[in-house]
Structure 1
Amino acid sequence: MGRGAPDGEEAHEHGVGDLCEAGERAYAQALREGRITRSDAREAVCLVSLGLLHPDPDRLDEYVPTLPGAALSRSLHELSAALEGVRRRMSAVGGVAERFAGFEAREVPPAGVIRVLEGKRRIRAVIAEEAGRCVFEHVGFQPGGIRTSEVLENALPLALGMAARGVRMRSLYTHVARHGQGILAYLEQVGDLAEVRTLDEVPERLVMFDRTVAFIPASPDRELALEIRNAAVIDYLHGVFERMWRVAVPFREALPAVGGAEGFTHRERAIAALLAEGHTDAGVAERLGMSVRTCRAHIAKLAQALGSSSRVELGVRIARAGLDSPPRSPGPGPEGAA
């Protein structure tokens, strides 16, 4: 997989022999200090393309240098691997042999690695590659609200490819996603191997394949992601998913009624519980996958129903009404447990 400049930045087309002046200065600084900030390396994106700088997983606002000898060795290795891939394709005797030759030619990160991926385009490309070789299971968290038709259409080819290989696909969405028609049409096209359940809120995005590799965001704008191949971390993330999956509500089932605090909807109770925790309107909306405007409309209904005239008073009345804890919905039962 080739390295490239971050999305939105123009990569230099020259090689090491005619490295630009800005690149030489930035590389010298990185070697001298052991690292360099992204802002200091902004005009030298060629260093990333050439493998002379790479993101620091522990300090995402900085790059660390690759020693010149190591960078040269890696370039020679990649060139050798590319030539070997051409030779294999030319000598392939059939589609199956060609497919396996492609697997052997790819440089697969070793187990235990946590790698930084930069730029949404690259992140999507790496995830698509892993989806293409997934053989038995794909799970993920999908935070936010209603999925647009465009998003679902872009995901459909990958899902259909996994379904054709018999891969079981399970995704957790927020309850708000139920209000969109796209997911139901998506599930009908993919078939029974794709399952969706919903909760009031889910954690940040998680994409996992075959319990061997996972991807999570590493920045709020999702321009950085972590590719995780550490077995202990993978097991932990998969365990979290399974626990949330067991208590989530299957997409094709109606949300069950919740006990206590009669007269309030499931969503109003979820909003009330987050308000009681001290979240702002925008924070509540983000966690439940709805717009701020919709969230504020629900908050206004809560205030009116509880007879509250101020935000502080609303918090007190929420507690008195027993709405200060999330609504608990009964799980799907033992047959739905993974």
Structure 2
Amino acid sequence: MLTTGTKPTHPHLITELCDEGARLYASALSAGRIARAEIEPAPCLLEFALLHPDPDDANWLRPVPPSAILAQRLHPIEREIRDRRRLSIELADTFEPFMAISAQPAATTHAITVLEGLPSINATLDAATEACTEEILTIQPGGIRHYEDLAKSLARVKEPLHRGVRMRTLYQHTVRHGPGVFAYLEQLESNHVEVRTLEEIIDRMIIFDRSVAIIPARRDRQVALELRHPGLVDYLASVFDQFWQKATPLHEEPHYPATADGITGVQRTIARLLIEGHVDEAIARRLGMNVRTCRAHIAKIAAALGSGSRAQLGYLIAQSGILEQDKPK
């Protein structure tokens, strides 16, 4: 109890009735009345209308039955609950027609999702492969593939192929120089798989049913992007289709125009990249070969053109006309 001068105050709610007030109220209920002077330590009894004046004697107070107090206090609370329940029903009825609209996939699907770490990337690939019903398009840059590495994806793709899903894959020409891809295709044993190769292709990409695309977001392949925006995925699928039209089926030999100077098609591509200013490492990466093989090709180009230095090699390539053979007539 707090006091201000001689007048006591009770800073509490009726749900937190003070000990003195509880004792005096119980006493009044037991006796049927209580002296007004006796309740001075607990003015809350009058503030909360737990007591009312005795009509026969002003010096006494009579207790209000607790059932009456409870009904009086609960009535406005119950009325508020009813009002809020009615309001919640009205709100639900108002917005229910819009819930179906907002639940449409186009409105809730994330256009771009960042996938961090191989577990997250592989889980997304597994889910997209399992959900695929028509076609998987893949671009796999790099050099010679070892069967052990390719075998890791066998379990993932065999099931959708068995369901009739078609798969088209683009590799670089360099995979033809190793048995890995051929052994991998034999294990798949499916007529729904097509493989073509190109000298140069873009970075790794996988597209499922032309609705979901997975692309790398970092060179170490620890971060990838899951794309579901229809415009983005459609654009990437059209890029794949253009590469596919220019690619050579794996069972056919890549066509290179015949040359009299002994420079191969791969070496002409390397020569073109050298002229464009690319360093050995960048050329090797773009053509899916190791740097040592790339430099061996550069040495053969230099020998064929009689170059004694890299600076002279660039000039001789430009003057030799070997790059003109790649231009369409």
**Same fold at TM > 0.5:** yes
Report the alpha carbon displacement of residue 211 of structure 1 after superposing the two structures with TM. 0.5
Distance verdict in 2 for CA 1:227–1:304, change over 3 Å: same
* 1:144 equivalent among 142, 145, 149: 142
Partner-residue secondary structure (3-state), 1:256: coil
Which residue does 1:203 correspond to in 2?
202
Q: 2:118 aligns with which of 117, 120, 123?
A: 120
* Contact 2:134–2:166 under 8 Å retained in 1: yes
Match of 1:99 in 2: none
Q: Percent identity?
A: 47
Distance 1:260 1:218, change over 3 A: same
Q: 1:193–1:232: structure 2 CA closer, same or farther, 3 Å change rule?
A: same
| Distance change >3 Å, CA 326–CA 199, structure 1 → 2 | farther
Q: Which residue of 2 aligns with 1:291?
A: 290
TM-score using structure 1 length: 0.63
Secondary structure at the counterpart of residue 274 of structure 2:
helix
For 1:234 and 1:108, locate their aligned partners in 2 and report how far apart those are by CA, in whole Å.
Answer: 14
Q: Which residue of 2 aligns with 1:95?
A: none
- Kept in 2, the 8 Å contact 1:274–1:324? The answer is no
C-alpha distance after superposition, 1:64-121 (max 9, x if no partner):
xxxxxxxxxxxxxxxxxxxxxxxxxxxxxxxxxxxxxxxxxxx999435201000022
2:316 & 2:191 partners in 1: Cα distance?
45
Please report how far the alpha carbon of residue 317 of structure 1 lies from its aligned counterpart in structure 2 after TM superposition.
1.1
Residues 112 and 231, structure 1, Cα contact 8 Å, conserved in 2: no
CA contact (8 A) 2:261 2:304 kept: no
Whole-angstrom CA distance in 1 between matches of 2:231 and 2:114: 18
C-alpha distance in 1 between matches for 2:306 and 2:142? 31
1:178 paired residue among 172, 176, 179 = 176
Gaps of 5+ in 1: 1-106, 330-338
Whether the 8 Å contact between 2:147 and 2:183 is mirrored in structure 1 is: no
Equivalence for 2:224: 225
CA contact (8 A) 1:284 1:295 kept: yes
- Distance in 1 (CA, whole Å) between partners of 2:315 and 2:224 is 40
Q: SS where residue 296 of structure 1 aligns?
A: helix
- State the AA in 2 paired with 1:166: G
- After TM superposition, the score normalised by the length of structure 2 is 0.64
**Greater per-residue helix proportion:** 2
Aligned residues of 1:114 and 1:229 also touching (Cα < 8 A):
yes
Aligned residue number for residue 14 of structure 1: none
How many Å separate the matches in 1 of 2:221 and 2:327? 31
**What residue is the counterpart of 1:102 in the other structure?**
none
Deviation at 1:325, TM superposition (A): 6.5
In 1, the alpha carbon distance for the partners of 2:260 and 2:157 equals 41
**Separation of aligned partners in 2, 1:127 and 1:326:** 42
User: Which residue in 2 is equivalent to 1:169?
Assistant: 167
Q: Distance in 2 between matches of 1:250 and 1:116?
A: 34
Look up the equivalent residue of 2:203 and give its one-letter code: E
What letter matches 2:152 in structure 1? Answer: N
Shift in CA distance, 262/304, structure 1 to aligned 2, threshold 3 Å: closer
Cα distance change on mapping 1:153 and 1:308 into 2, 3 Å? same
What is the number of equivalent residue pairs in this alignment?
A: 224
Q: Could you tell me which residue of structure 1 aligns to residue 88 of structure 2?
A: none
Is the Cα–Cα contact under 8 Å of residues 261 and 322 in structure 1 kept in the other structure?
Answer: no
Structure 1 position 328, deviation (Å): 6.7
Which runs of 5 or more structure 2 residues have no equivalent in the other structure? 1-104
Contact 1:112–1:229 (8 Å) recurs in 2: yes
**Alignment correspondent of 1:3:** none
For the residues of structure 2 that align with 1:143 and 1:109, how far apart are their CA atoms?
34
The SS at the match of 1:173 is: strand
Residues 261/124 of structure 1: CA separation in 2 closer, same or farther (3 Å cut): farther
Whole-Å Cα distance in 1 between the matches of residues 165 and 140 of structure 2? Answer: 18
Q: Residue in 2 aligned with 1:275?
A: 274
Note if contact 1:152-1:186 (Cα within 8 Å) is conserved in structure 2.
Answer: yes
Aligned AA (1:152): L
What do you get for the CA RMSD once the two structures are aligned? 2.2
